[in-house]
Amino acid sequence: MRWNKDVSRCLLFLSRRYYRSALANRDQAVVRVSNNITYLGYPKEGAKPCQLLSLPPFPGHPLPGKKAATGPDQPSRHVTAISWIKYYFDEIPGSVILSHFNKGLVRLDLNESSTIKEGRTRLLKKIKHSDIMEVGARIYVPISVAETRISKRYDVIPSGTLYPNADEIAYLQRLVFYKDPAIIVLNKPPKLPVKGNLPVHNSMDALAAAALSYEYDEGPRLVHRLDRESSGLHLMGRTEESISHLHLLFSNTKKSKTLSKAWNDACGSTYQRYWALVIGSPKEKEGVISAPLTKVLLDDGRTDRVMLAQHSGLEASEEAVTEYRLLGPMINGCSWIELRPHTSRKHQLRVHCAEALGTPIVGDYKYSWFVHRKWKQMPRVDVEPTTGKPYRLKRPEGLDVQKGSVLSRVPLLHLHCRELVLPNIAKFIELHSRKIKNLNPDNSSKPDLLRFVAPMPSHMKISWKLMSSYLI
């Protein structure tokens, strides 16, 4: 009898000790998924890799597209860290950005210079959402902050007909991102042609006349063009006067008329920013490409191709300048970069990436066929940069990854016009019109600059999630 009591006490002691140990390790346990089976495990040894996304240096206040406070009774407002990130990621919900602050994942670069020499570590510190931004300060956030919702339904362009039908008209109207009396901004999907010819009936200019005229007698007209394979913000003018202003604004000669100092300042603040996924990684994290372009005619006598000028003096070349910045680390042999063209040349970004940087854009079969002829579906296994051990990328649930993403055998072009800043054309036209006496007093309160940020198309969102998620 006594022996049984001793055994029961021993078992009770061991069970309590095991329970306390389980409680101590409970917070360290993580959920893992292997072969569609979920089980409880423990974190991998070593530091968990954190892929950081670099924001541009803070430009200061006022931000483009925001109304500045003026006058002695309206001092300049400070810009907080969360306001700057919300401004840059305009398409991301504020609650998602705030959660990254609450988890202590937002960092500030403490180095005096943004350029870090080889072998020197970057000094980063955690910041709060209420911290005030200083001009030139650079913030780093996890790439997961830009993981937006992906629709399971892949957008399909309606089949072209000789005359636009109701489906095509409704389709184009859904693409309207912004509309005012002077301009229309669309979020163009890939594979939709901008300028059509005889065999192309569902091009954007053909559909616009029937679908986007609204209360005007004529439809809007093209101001600048995106490649058929590219996606993103596409600008159209609605009136003869606005089209004239926009043509001068986007012309490479920059011979715009001097209407006023405010107009000149707004023109100087105009820019476009693209996001692209490239194969490889540039040697320098940021820089300016100044490489003139020229056109050559291929052997078939019909097809032309843009290439870097050879400076022989015998060829006609055009100046082409592109500013670039690396967004984050190289993942599975590819890198996300941000491109800001200072000139508007045909296929400028694609040629500069492929030939000047040596990092062709994913899905660019015209200027990087030599890379894509060996293209294979991206492997599911890679190596952690910190431990050297293999890991698995999280696959977004419910998505068909064979729709142009990096896992497709034939990926679509990963080039997206994400951000556009331009003068408020409607405001300036009204301010400088002959009917200035009958000017609407509310017009002066409108901002001088308009800013638009368009979310990435489905295939680029899928690639971003597949390559940029936290790893388990």
Angle at the Cα of 378 from the Cα atoms of 228 and 50, rounded to 5 degrees: 100
Q: DSSP 3-state assignment of 358?
A: coil
Distance CA 335, CA 283 (A): 12
Q: Are 351 and 387 in contact (CB under 8 A)?
A: no
Phi and psi at residue 387, to the nearest 5°: -105, -20
Q: Which of 365, 393, 357, 375 lies closest to 466, judged by CA?
A: 393
DSSP type of residue 115: -
Please state, in angstroms and as integers, the Cα–Cα distance from residue 41 to each residue in 31, 66, 186, 283, 301, following that order.
6, 48, 47, 39, 63
Q: Which residue type, as a one-letter code, is found at position 124?
A: L
59 CB-contact burial (10 Å; exposed 0-12 / middle 13-18 / buried 19+): middle
Q: DSSP 3-state assignment of 33?
A: strand
Cis peptide before 56 (omega within 30 of 0): no
Angle at the Cα of 466 from the Cα atoms of 465 and 470, rounded to 5 degrees: 75
Catalytic residues: 227
